[in-house]
Amino acid sequence: MGYSSNNLAIMFSIFKFIQPVTKQTLVASVFAILIGGLIAGCSTPPTRGTGYRSGSGAAPTNYSSPIASFNAVSWQALPGWQVDDLSQAWPAWLRSCEALRKRNSEINWRQVCSQVSNVSAKDSQAIRRYFEDNFQAYEIRNSAGSEMGLITGYYEPVMNGSQTRTGAFTIPLYAYPNVWRQARPNPGSSRAELMSSGILKGSEIAWVQDPVAAAFMQIQGSGKIRLQDGRVLRLGYAGTNEQPFKSFAQWLLDRKEITRSEATMQGISQWAKRNPDRVNEMLNANPRFVFFKELPENVSTDLGPTGALNVPLTSERSIAIDLQAMPLGAPVFLASTKPLSDQPLQKLVMAQDTGKAIVGGVRADYYWGSGDAAGEMAGRMKQNGKMWVLLPR
């Protein structure tokens, strides 16, 4: 399959897609959100989409969009392509196919997705042949012509908690206020105003221990609560007070409370432990407030939160991207490094999420998974990287 216009340009249209229940990517870059003072991407559903006009004949050698250019390359140009265990990426691609089959798209996803049943899910070499036979790899360059871009990370928080307030669990996570369901304010009250107004009384959905961890869950837009009886309560994004996001990391930096090297989730949590009386002051610096909803019990706790593609994210195989750069659901080969190291991170991933903080042609937010270990990696990830999008021939 080819993609054509007068100048082989990407043609843009608006996709109709189901609103996600996460970070959209709340599904946002942890570091970019904390440091940059950007609007929280993961807690805000995306509002834009892209499409590609299809044509006939072979795939073109190059084309471009307003924020990126694509250049066809050989598979040998992808560092680590031959050694990546693609069986680990295959379940994520199958989930992309589940969604892409249902969409009206200018890309012929249905044809390539119809062939997945012929591929052994455990045979990495067979999976590699499937992609090489059916897809063309394109190197992505940003609008300035550089192939290097920013790769950040996000994750799904997991906390101990209770569905009732106890002596140990005193910090509430809230459902969308009933009073706002009939007359939704735009904007609503700020965080500080909400916490003192009484509007949220009765909307508590769960209680946790740590106010800073609860705030990070709001930034991510989803999370899991381990209850005392062993059950896991899964929470997803339900809306916001429509206030702008302001980084409390930047608030701390402006006041010289932390250094730039400490402007991570870990550094902010340590500051909060040293300054318990000032935690609310810090959190109120961000007027934005995110509400949650309890997800159905049939949602597997082994899967990640639902991203903008409306499929569960897969640990270390899903990314959030800018929809102006590439289509949602597309396979992407990522070449970067792991946080705070030179250790290569070269993997096939799926563009299954978006976020307002994820902006640029060569830009991705890498989903590390659930829990503290994933949070450690996500909170420290701010790497350079390259990306190749794989499109059907």
Digit-coded pLDDT (tens) for 374-383: 998 998 899 9
Q: Which amino acid is at 379?
A: G
Bridge partners of residue 54, in order along the sequence? 3
Q: Taking Cα atoms as reference points, which of 141, 151, 148 lies closest to residue 326?
A: 141
Mean per-residue pLDDT, 43-68? 55
Which tens digit of pLDDT belongs to each residue from 362-374?
A: 999 999 999 989 9
97-110 CB burial, b ≥16 within 10 A, e <16: bebbeebebbbbbe
Query: Which residues does 353 contact at the CB level (< 8 Å), separation at least 6?
Result: 20, 22, 23, 24, 25, 27, 307, 308, 309, 313, 318, 319, 320, 321, 365, 367
- Burial level of 140, CB count in 10 A (0-12/13-18/19+)? buried
Q: What is the pLDDT of residue 297?
A: 67
Confidence of residue 235 (pLDDT cuts 50, 70, 90): very high
Two tokens, residue 27? 């599904």
The pLDDT assigned to 383 comes to 95
Asked whether the predicted pLDDT for residue 298 surpasses 80, the reply is no
On the 0-12 / 13-18 / 19+ scale of CB atoms within 10 A, 338 is middle
The predicted structure's pLDDT at residue 184: 81
User: What's residue 60's pLDDT?
Assistant: 73
Question: What are the C-alpha distances in Å from 223 to residues 5, 92, 160, 167, 197?
Answer: 43, 20, 11, 22, 26
| Residue recorded with tokens 């996500």 | 378
**What tens digit of pLDDT does each residue of 125-174 get?**
999 999 999 999 999 999 899 999 999 999 999 999 999 999 999 999 99
